[in-house]
Amino acid sequence: MLDFDSSPYKYNIRPKTESLSYRNVRLYILQRRIASLIGRIALFVMIFGLSFVILYPFLKLLPLVFNNLEDVGTPDIIWIPRRFSVKSFQVALYLLFNSDKIVMVKSLLYALSIALIQTAMSAMAGYSLARVDFKGRQLVFGLVILTFVIPPQATLISQYLRFKDFDIFGILKMLNGRSVDLINKPISLYLLAIFGFGLKQSLFVFIFRQFFYGIPGELEEAALIDGCGFYGTFFRVMLPNAIPAIMTVLVFSFVWNYGDNYYVNYFHPDGPYLSVMLDRTFQETQFDFVKNLSWNRFDILTFNTFTFDAIKQAALITYLVPLLILYFIVQRRFVETFERSGIVG
């Protein structure tokens, strides 16, 4: 006989309440899985959409710059070139590098040297504002923020006049009888970087200040006990811990100075800067010059605004190649350390 007073689980019989609870749990798990799947699909669609929006201008360039220049502008050519050609790059490279074949190397060396100077000066200024207690520190930090907020156009005239009639407390006039004109000389750009007024340099000072402000003070105390002075603590303890901030500032400074055509146009317009050459070479006023060059040297018989734009875009891609290489080299470390560089304290 069956023992009806015993537990129902003995005979695989579930009470009604237990059966309802079991179905509710399964329904809840199924709902969670469906919600998770929908969330993943939505995230994928969003990432794919954003990636397409970002890459769309670049994808539109490929059929333009790799197309035969005589077919550029044909309505039925949208994504795939009818005849593959690299003549647009040949014309662009000739225009950019004919007068100075190593202009890209010079432009890269300029951007790198300015970036190194800005990083070094900004690191020292940021460390002083974060860790050195002196009178007026908050005022100086406020002036740094003010320099970042004020557009560079507001200080351009005073900077230009200062370099046009450059003197150091009247010493040069006393020794030589006249001041020195530093306009159209590369030293003017280096002086701006050395004294903290380079391109976006106030932002770099702010990044270093925030990073050093978030470093525990126990590191400095331990260095002091070990016999390190002020400079020893900075160079041997603080800088090695500031690699994320150094890398962030170095990359930003290099990219912005490499692409700058504002400061260099005013202070060194005749310098070998690829961004300036790109801007000047492909102005609308140079259309006839590029047209005649394409006809006479590269045998491009059909030349219109679409052809001119294809050559211009090919030159732009050539200009971006160093930046793309830099991105692929540092992107993993840069992304990992960006949030730690200045969003603390």
Per-residue pLDDT of 185-220, as tens digits, reads 888 999 999 988 888 899 999 989 988 888 888 888
Indicate if 35 and 111 belong to the same structural domain. Answer: no
Per-residue pLDDT band at 279 (split at 50, 70, 90): confident
Per-residue pLDDT band at 82 (split at 50, 70, 90): confident
User: Of 58, 39, 7, 50, nearest to 324 (Cα)?
Assistant: 58
Count CB atoms within 10 A of the CB of residue 131: 17
Q: What percent of the chain shows pLDDT beyond 90? A: 9
Greatest distance between any 2 Cα atoms in the chain: 125
Say if 82 falls within a structural domain.
no
User: Of 149, 143, 147, 141, nearest to 212 (Cα)?
Assistant: 141
pTM for the model = 0.76
- Predicted local confidence at residue 119, as pLDDT: 93
Say if 71 falls within a structural domain.
no
| Domain CATH number, residue 272 | 1.10.3720.10
Say if 130 falls within a structural domain.
yes
Say if 116 falls within a structural domain.
yes
Number of H helices, E strands in the chain: 16, 0
Indicate if 150 and 15 belong to the same structural domain. Answer: no
The domain of 109 spans: 89-342
- Predicted local confidence at residue 276, as pLDDT: 82
- Predicted local confidence at residue 1, as pLDDT: 46
Say if 72 falls within a structural domain.
no
pLDDT, average across residues 280-307: 81
Say if 77 falls within a structural domain.
no
- Predicted local confidence at residue 184, as pLDDT: 87
Q: How far apart (Å, rounded) are the C-alpha atoms in residues 111 and 122?
A: 16
Question: How many domains does the chain contain in total?
Answer: 2
Per-residue pLDDT band at 328 (split at 50, 70, 90): confident
Q: How far apart (Å, rounded) are the C-alpha atoms in residues 4 and 68?
A: 90
Indicate if 194 and 148 belong to the same structural domain. Answer: yes
Indicate if 250 and 155 belong to the same structural domain. Answer: yes
Q: Domain boundary at 65, 81, 97, which?
A: 65
Indicate if 198 and 298 belong to the same structural domain. Answer: yes
Q: Domain boundary at 65, 81, 111, which?
A: 65
Indicate if 19 and 116 belong to the same structural domain. Answer: no
Say if 2 falls within a structural domain.
no
pLDDT at 118 over 90: yes
- Predicted local confidence at residue 339, as pLDDT: 53
Indicate if 105 and 56 belong to the same structural domain. Answer: no
- Predicted local confidence at residue 332, as pLDDT: 66
> 127-168, pLDDT tens digit by residue?
989 888 888 888 988 888 888 888 888 888 888 888 888 888
- Lowest-pLDDT range, 72-76, 88-92, 194-198, 208-212? 72-76
pLDDT, average across residues 30-41: 88
Please report the DSSP string for 86-139 in residue order: -HHHHHHHHHHHSS-TTHHHHHHHHHHHHHHHHHHHHHHHHHHHHH---TTHHH
- What does pLDDT average to over the chain? 81
Per-residue pLDDT band at 117 (split at 50, 70, 90): very high
Indicate if 153 and 47 belong to the same structural domain. Answer: no
Indicate if 152 and 49 belong to the same structural domain. Answer: no
Per-residue pLDDT band at 335 (split at 50, 70, 90): low
Per-residue pLDDT band at 333 (split at 50, 70, 90): low
- Predicted local confidence at residue 11, as pLDDT: 46
- Predicted local confidence at residue 218, as pLDDT: 83
pLDDT, average across residues 8-24: 55
Say if 80 falls within a structural domain.
no
pLDDT at 286 over 50: yes
Indicate if 198 and 257 belong to the same structural domain. Answer: yes
Indicate if 158 and 61 belong to the same structural domain. Answer: no
pLDDT at 176 over 50: yes
Indicate if 116 and 46 belong to the same structural domain. Answer: no
Q: Domain boundary at 49, 65, 81, which?
A: 65
pLDDT at 8 over 60: no
pLDDT at 87 over 50: yes
